[in-house]
Structure 1
C-alpha cells in the first residue's frame, strides 16, 4: 500500500508546538501499525523537525487584533492561494487543522471541493467558546469537520452542543510533563545561587507584541529589580529574530537579563520562581510546572476601542490557565491595567506572600485534573490514522 498522506495546517508559535507534538505521535502510531506516512504541512520549524514536509512557514504571518492583523491579510491570502493550487494536485488521505481560525476556515471550505470524502479533523479548535462574535464561524467549522479533538472541557461541551462530533482528548502539554527537567538540576545548570530568585519574562510570540508588550514587561522587571534583592531575569525566546530587539530594549533600561533559546528555555521554566507572561499557551506550560505567574496582554488603542465600543467585546478570562475551569487562578492584567506599576505590584505580592503562592498551586492542581490523562497526542493520532487508512482502502476498492 502506498504511504498514508496527511495535510496539516496551522500558524503561530503555539500552533507549531502543538503540531510538532501531534506529528511525532502520528509517526509513532504509524510505525506500530506498519504504515508508511507522509505529512505535508503549513507550520514552522518545530513541525519540520518532527518530520513534516513544510510547504510554507506560517509562523511569521500571524497577529491578534483588528488593526494589527491588516498587514498580514494579503500575505496570508496569497500564500493560501499558492498552497491551494499545490494541494489540489496532490492526493490526500486526511486533513488536520490546528487552531489558526481565519486561514483554517478557508481550508475547511476548499478541501471538500478538491478532495471529496477525505476526513477533516479539527485539532485544538479556535476558542469560539470563549470569545466568539457570533455563531457564523462556529457553524462553518462544525459543518466541515468530521471530528473535533477538544483539549478543554468547555471546548468539548460548546462544540458538542452545536452538533459536532467531538472527542475530548485532553491537553497535549500533559504529555510533556513527563520530560520536564528537575528543578534543582535546572537551577544548577543556570548558575542560580540558593538565595537567588529566577524571574522568567515572556513578552512576545508575535511581532506586534514586541511593540505593545515588551516595553511594559521590561519596565515592570526594572521596578522589581530596584525593589527586591537577588533577582535574576531570563527571557526565553519564542522566535530567534526577536533577540536583537529585546537586547536593545533591555540595554536602554539598564536591565540585566539573560536571553535564552533552544533547550535552555525548558531549564528556565523548571527553575523559575515567577513568570511575567503574555497570554497564550505558555501560561499552561508554566501552570503545569507549578510556576506562579502574572498574565498580561495589550493590543493597539484602535483595536481596543473598536472591541469595547462597537463589538461590545467581553470575555470571562484571557489566560488558558484561568479558562480551563473558569477560575481566577492567576492574575490577568489586560490593556490599561497592563502597566509597569500594576504588573510589578502583582509580581511582588506573589513573591512575598507564601499564602498567595499556595493558593496558586492549589488552583494549578485543580486545573491539572481537568486536562485529562497522558497519551493525548497518541489518542488523537490513532483516530486520525484509522480514518485515513479506511479512506485509502475505500478509494483502492473503487479503483
Structure 2
C-alpha cells in the first residue's frame, strides 16, 4: 500500500469545519485508491476528530482588522515557527492551504522557497478577490500555488485571469446541508411550536466580535423583542402585507454557541438585555434550520442560512480606527461582504457594514423580512438562483480527488 502524508493549514472556526469535511473525503478517497494517508495539520478540534494530527490549534487566534490582529501576532508566529520546523524535518507529499490568508501566505512562501519539490494546493482561497487590498498578495497566492480549488464562480474567474491553475469544485456546504434536519424536525427537537417566532442570533466566532458586534446585535434583539410583544398571534407563513405576529411568551431568540470561550459573556449579555433567549451548545444545525429569521455577522454561516432558506440580516463592524486606516491608506472598498451576495454578485440579503450597522437599521431590516411576505418570497427565489451556482453535491470528493491526483499522480 502506498503511503502519503498531507499537511493542511487553516484557522478559525469555519476553517476547522471545512478542514474536517475535507479530511473525511480525503480518507475515503485514499482508501478506495489503496493509499495509506497521514494528515498533519494546523486547525482545530473538528479536524483532530476527523483524523488529523494537530501541530497547533488555530481556532482561537483568528481576527479581522489591523488593530484587532495585534494580540494574536505572537501566538500565530509561535505556531508558524513550530509548523515550519516540523515540515523542514518531515517534508509532506503535498500541502493544502485553506483560507486564513496572512498565516497561510507565510506557510506557502516557506514551502515555495524551502521545500520547492512539495506541491501546494489552495482550497478556498483568501477573499483577496473581493477585498483587493494588495496586488502583491494575489501574486504570492498565484506564484506559490500549483492548483487553486475554487468554491465561488467569481473567485475562479479572478484567479484564472491572474494566471493561476484553477479547478472550480463548488462550495463544500452543499455537501453538508443534506445532513441537516428539516425545519419541522428542528423545531420539534428544540420545542418550538409551529406558531412561535424563532430568531437565530449569530454574534461572534472571533474574540473581537464579542466587543464590536455583540452589543449591536443584542440591542437590536431587545428592541425587536419589544416590538414582537405587541404583535398579534399570526404565523409567519400566513402573514399578509402589514400583518403582525405575537410574542408567544416563549423563547424568541436562539443563539448557537460557536466557542466555549464566549459562553460567559453571551450569558451575561442575555441577562443584561433581558432577552427571551436560549444559548445552544450542541444543536447548532437545529437552530439554523428552525429559524424564521437570522440576524448574523458576516461569514460562512450566511451561506448555511441561505441554503436552508432562512431570511437573514447580515452586519459587520471592526474598530473605527481600523476602518479609517483601511479606507484612507488602502482604498478599502468591497462590492459585498456576505457569501450569498458574493456568489451572485448582487444584493440578495441585506448587509450593514460599519457605521450602517446600527440596532435601528438591524431592526428595520428584520421587521421587513418577518412581516413582508413579498420580501420573504423574493429572498427565497434569490436563494434558489444562488444555489444553482454552487455546484452539485460531491464537492469535498471532487476536492479530495484533485488533491490526491497531485500528491499521487500515478495512482489514478
TM-score range, shorter chain: over 0.9
Deviation at 1:34, TM superposition (A): 1.7
Determine if contact 2:92/2:118 at 8 Å carries over to the other structure: yes
Taking the aligned partners of 1:249 and 1:153, their CA distance within structure 2 comes to: 39
Could you say which residue in structure 2 is the equivalent of 1:270?
Answer: 289
* Structure 1 moving runs of 4+ over 6 Å: none
Corresponding residue of 1:32: 32
Would you say 1:207 and 2:207 are equivalent positions?
A: yes
What aligned pairs does 1:333-344 form with structure 2 within 5 A after superposition? 333-344=352-363
How far off its partner does 1:392 sit? 9.6
Are 2:322 and 1:295 aligned? Answer: no
Aligned to 2:94: 94
Relative distance call for 1:89 and 1:2 in structure 2 (3 A) is farther
Deviation, structure 1 residue 309: 2.5
What do residues 164-204 of structure 1 show as CA deviations (whole Å, max 9, x unaligned)?
00000000000112211011111111111121011000000
Distance across 2 between alignment mates of 1:392 and 1:115:
23
Partner of 1:136: 136
Counterpart-to-counterpart distance in 2, 1:164 and 1:87: 25
What's 1:226 paired with?
Answer: 226
Kept after mapping to 2: 8 A contact 1:180/1:270: yes
Residues 297-376 of structure 1: pairs in structure 2 closer than 5 A: 297-376=316-395
SS of 2:408's equivalent in the other structure is: helix
Partner of 1:237: 257
Residue 390 of structure 1 deviates from its aligned partner by: 3.2
* Residues 60-69 or 148-157, more deviating: 60-69
What are the superposed Cα offsets for residues 131-152 of structure 1, whole Å, 9 maximum, x if unpaired? 1113101111101100000000
SS of residue paired to 1:294: strand
Q: How many residues align?
A: 392
- 8 Å Cα contact 1:44/1:59 also seen in 2: yes
Compute the displacement of 1:295 (Å): 0.1
> What is the Cα-based RMSD across aligned positions, in Å?
1.4
The aligned runs of 1:179-190 (5 Å cut-off) are 179-190=179-190
SS at match of 1:23: helix
Q: 1:81 to 1:391 in 2, by over 3 A?
A: farther
Please state if 1:379 is matched with 2:401: no
* Whole-angstrom distance in 2 between the partners of 1:226 and 1:116: 61
C-alpha separation in 2, matches of 1:91 and 1:83 = 11
Residues of 2 paired with 1:72 and 1:117: CA distance? 31
Q: Which runs of 5+ in 2 are unaligned?
A: 229-245
Q: Which residue is 1:256 aligned to?
A: 276
Secondary structure of the corresponding residue to residue 191 of structure 2:
coil
CA distance in structure 1 between the partners assigned to 2:62 and 2:289 by the alignment = 28
Show CA shifts across 1:249-305 (max 9, x none).
11111112111122x110111110000000000000000110000001000011111
User: Which residue of the partner structure matches residue 237 of structure 2?
Assistant: none
8 Å contact kept, 1:15–1:43: yes
Kept after mapping to 2: 8 A contact 1:93/1:392: no
Provide the rounded CA distance (Å) in 2 between the counterparts of 1:359 and 1:372: 22
Conserved 8 A contact 1:169-1:372? yes
C-alpha distance in structure 2 between counterparts of 1:312 and 1:379, whole Å: 37
Matched-pair contact (CA < 8 Å) for 2:307–2:387: yes
Q: Please, which runs of 5 or more residues in structure 1 have no aligned partner?
A: 394-399
Residue 241 of structure 2 is matched in structure 1 by none
Query: Is it true that 1:56 corresponds to 2:47 in the alignment?
Result: no
Deviation at 1:391, TM superposition (A): 8.1
Q: Deviations over 1:301-351 (max 9, x none)?
A: 111111222322111111011011111001001111111111011101110
* TM-score with structure 2 setting the length: 0.93
The equivalent of 2:233 in structure 1 is none
Q: Distance in 1 between matches of 2:324 and 2:254?
A: 33
Structure 2: how far apart are the matches of 1:293 and 1:167? 30
Name the residue aligned to 1:397: none
1: CA distance, partners of 2:68 / 2:110:
26
Give the match's secondary structure for 2:35.
coil
Counterpart secondary structure, 1:291: coil
Q: Distance in 2 between matches of 1:182 and 1:302?
A: 43
Instruction: State the SS of the aligned residue for 1:196.
Output: coil
**Contact 2:253–2:278, Cα closer than 8 Å, also in 1:** yes
State the TM-score, normalizing by the size of structure 1. Answer: 0.96
Following the alignment from structure 2 to structure 1, what is the Cα–Cα distance between the partners of residues 141 and 89? 24
